[in-house]
Structure 1
Amino acid sequence: MIDREIAVQIVEEQLARDYEADRALRPESMLLAVAGVKEHELVWIVSWTSEEYLRTRNPDFMLAGNGPYLVDRLESAVRDLLSGLRSLDGVTVGHLHRSGVRDSLG
């Protein structure tokens, strides 16, 4: 079973990879950081935003359209949740997880 700290570490590693890939295209890329974690019976729901926003709370640095990552609590697989999907209740997350939709997310 994957605990909270491991889930955060997994997402932080993914965010670092995303940053490096983006920086190769745009030198002005923002550093990204974990903003929060919610526990679900099947996954950890890990939200993220820019490091600058978390540090300053200045809305100019707030990201829009960034959906959370789901970290499977059994397999440690990480998936990017569809950014347009805003419902994170147990039914929605459980449905995505059990229906196999999660496999097409990442």
Structure 2
Amino acid sequence: MGACKVMKIVLKVELYCLKCKFVVLKAITKLMGIDKIEIDMEKSTVTVTGEVDAVAVVQQVRKLGKMVEIVTVGEDKKEEVVKPSNPLECCKTCQHISVKVVEYGGCAIM
């Protein structure tokens, strides 16, 4: 059995109100392997990221009586953060430690 890949699935779903959003969110969260769900009410899109099958996601939403259209399905490409081997080690030439704010809100000592 091969390793599952993390997929990013974008669906176009009928979303008219907050109740629609809640019901769709609740239905999708019943599936195993989901890492993240993003719902854009303005664009009527639902983005599901995780080790989950697109067909299973569509079936869950269709059980609610909602019209669903698959927009895209593909591997989730996350940017890899390069970490130094020893973050507290100072460079030997200048004897300085630099601190850099990284994307997720933390900081890394370089």
Q: TM-score range by the shorter chain?
A: under 0.3
Larger radius of gyration: 2
* Higher normalized strand content (fraction of residues): 2
TM-score w.r.t. structure 1 length? 0.23
TM-score w.r.t. structure 2 length? 0.22
**Which structure has more RCO (C-alpha within 8 Å, separation ≥ 6)?**
2
* Higher normalized helix content (fraction of residues): 1
